[in-house]
Amino acid sequence: MDPRPIGVFDSGLGGLTALRELRRLLPGEELIYFGDTGRVPYGGKGREIIQHYARQDVAFLRSFDPKAIIIACGTVSANALTELSAENDLPIFGVVGPAAQAAAGATRSGKVGVIATAASIRSGAYEREIARLDPSLTVFPQACPLFVPLVENGRFRPGDQVVELVAEEYLAPLRHAGVDTLVLGCTHYPLLRDVVGKVMGGNVTLIDTGAACAAAAVQCLEEQGLLARRETGSCRYFVSDSPQDFARLAGIFLGEEAQGSVERIEIEKY
Ligand code: DGL
C-alpha cells in the first residue's frame, strides 16, 4: 500500500479524458493533474521542444513526490516516453503501448488505422509498437491537426457539418484501406467517437488511448502493491495559464464539473 499521489499531465486539458477514466477505476487515489495550458498545443511542435516541455512537466509533478506519473498526452507519449522513463526512477506510463496492444488484440483484418497529432504521427511510435507486437499487421497513420481546435471550440457532435466534413476528409483514406480497428491517438478524440464512428462505419473498433493507458497503469500499480486503498480520493488541478477558461474546457473533457482546486503555476521555473 502506498498513500502517495499519482501525477497525471497533458499539454492542456484534453488529458482530463484519461483522468476521468483513472478516477472511475481508482476512486480512492489522490490525483495531481497538470495541464500545460500556457504552451498548448504540443502536437504541431518538434520533438526537442516536446521533450523539453515534458521534462519540465515531470519535474513539476515530482515536487509532490508521486508514486507514478501518467502521461495522458498522445504527443508526449509518442515523443518522450523513452527519455522520461530513463531519466526518472519512478514508473511512468504513456498511452502508446497500451493502445497498440488493444489495437493488435482487436483487429481481425490485420489493418489498423491510427489518427493523432502531426507530431505523434511523425514520431512513428505507433507503427513501431504495433510491429513489435505483431509484425504481420499493417498500420495506416493519419495526422488530423484540425481536430484539436474543433473539439476545443465545442465542434465535436454528430450533425455538425464542419467537423463531419473535416472527419470525412481525414478518414477517407483509412476507410478505403479497409482498416477494421482505429486508434484514437489523442486526448481530444474520445469526444469525436460518434463522428468518427459515423464516418468509419459501425464495424470498425475504436480504441480510446487514455482509457487503455489508465487500465494498464492501474493493473501495474496493483501488481506492485502501490495502490492507496482509501475509501475516498481527491484531485488537485494545476495549469500554466490563467485558470479562467478551466471550468468550460474541463466540463467538456470530464463530462461533468471539475471538483477540486485549480491553481496556476510558473512551469518555466521547473
Ligand atoms: N494532448 C495532445 C495529444 O494528445 C493534443 C493537444 C496538443 O496538440 O497539445 O496529442
Same domain as 53, residue 114: no
What is the count of structural domains for the chain? 2
Same domain as 206, residue 100: yes
pLDDT of amino acid 69 = 98
Q: Which atom of ligand 1 is nearest to the CA of 78?
A: 10
Which residue, judged by its Cα, is nearest atom 2 of ligand 1?
A: 73
Same domain as 88, residue 111: no
Same domain as 181, residue 240: no
Distance CA 168, CA 135 (A): 29
Same domain as 138, residue 125: yes
The b/e string for 103-137 (b: 16+ C-beta within 10 A; e otherwise) is bbebbeeebbbbbbbebbbbbebbbebbbeeeeeb
Domain that holds residue 231: 6-94+213-269
Of 210, 235, 254, which residue is a domain's last?
210
Distance CA 8, CA 16 (A): 9
Cα–ligand 1 centroid distance for 113 (angstroms): 18
- Pairing assessment for the beta strands 138-143 and 111-116 based on DSSP bridges: parallel
Whether 194 is in a domain gets the answer yes
pLDDT tens, residue order, the chain (270 aa): 899 999 999 999 999 999 999 999 999 999 999 999 999 999 999 999 999 999 999 999 999 999 999 999 999 999 999 999 999 999 999 999 999 999 999 999 999 999 999 999 999 999 999 999 999 999 999 999 999 999 999 999 999 999 999 999 999 999 999 999 999 999 999 999 999 999 999 999 999 999 999 999 999 999 999 999 888 999 999 999 999 888 888 988 998 888 888 999 999 999
Grid coordinates given for 127: 507503427
Whether 137 is in a domain gets the answer yes
Same domain as 118, residue 22: no
Whether 157 is in a domain gets the answer yes
Whether 101 is in a domain gets the answer yes
**What residues act catalytically?**
73, 186
Contact 128, 99 (CB under 8 A): no
Same domain as 203, residue 110: yes
Same domain as 204, residue 102: yes
pLDDT of amino acid 237 = 96
Site to substitute for ligand 1 among 8, 9, 11, 146, most atoms within 8 A of C-beta = 11
Cα–ligand 1 centroid distance for 41 (angstroms): 6
Contact residues of ligand 1, CB 6 A cut-off: 10-12, 14, 40-43, 73-75, 117, 120, 148, 186-188
Name the CA dihedral angle for 243, 268, 209, 236, rounded to a multiple of 10 degrees.
-40
Of 210, 233, 248, which residue is a domain's last?
210
Same domain as 142, residue 238: no
Cα–ligand 1 centroid distance for 225 (angstroms): 31
Whether 217 is in a domain gets the answer yes
Instruction: Report yes or no on whether pTM surpasses 0.85.
Output: yes
Whether 169 is in a domain gets the answer yes
pLDDT of amino acid 117 = 98
Whether 1 is in a domain gets the answer no
Q: What is the pLDDT of residues 209-263, one digit of tens each?
A: 999 999 999 999 999 999 998 889 999 999 999 998 888 889 889 988 888 889 9
Site to substitute for ligand 1 among 33, 37, 45, 73, most atoms within 8 A of C-beta = 73
Site to substitute for ligand 1 among 33, 95, 187, most atoms within 8 A of C-beta = 187
Q: What is the pLDDT of residues 192-201, one digit of tens each?
A: 999 999 999 9
Same domain as 156, residue 262: no
Number of other residues whose CB lies within 10 A of the CB of residue 52: 13
pLDDT of amino acid 142 = 98
Q: Which atom of ligand 1 is nearest to the CA of 10?
A: 1
Same domain as 115, residue 75: no
Q: For the domain that residue 237 is a member of, what is the CATH number?
A: 3.40.50.1860
Whether 22 is in a domain gets the answer yes
Of 187, 210, 233, which residue is a domain's last?
210
DSSP classification of residue 258? P
Distance CA 211, CA 17 (A): 8
Same domain as 177, residue 78: no
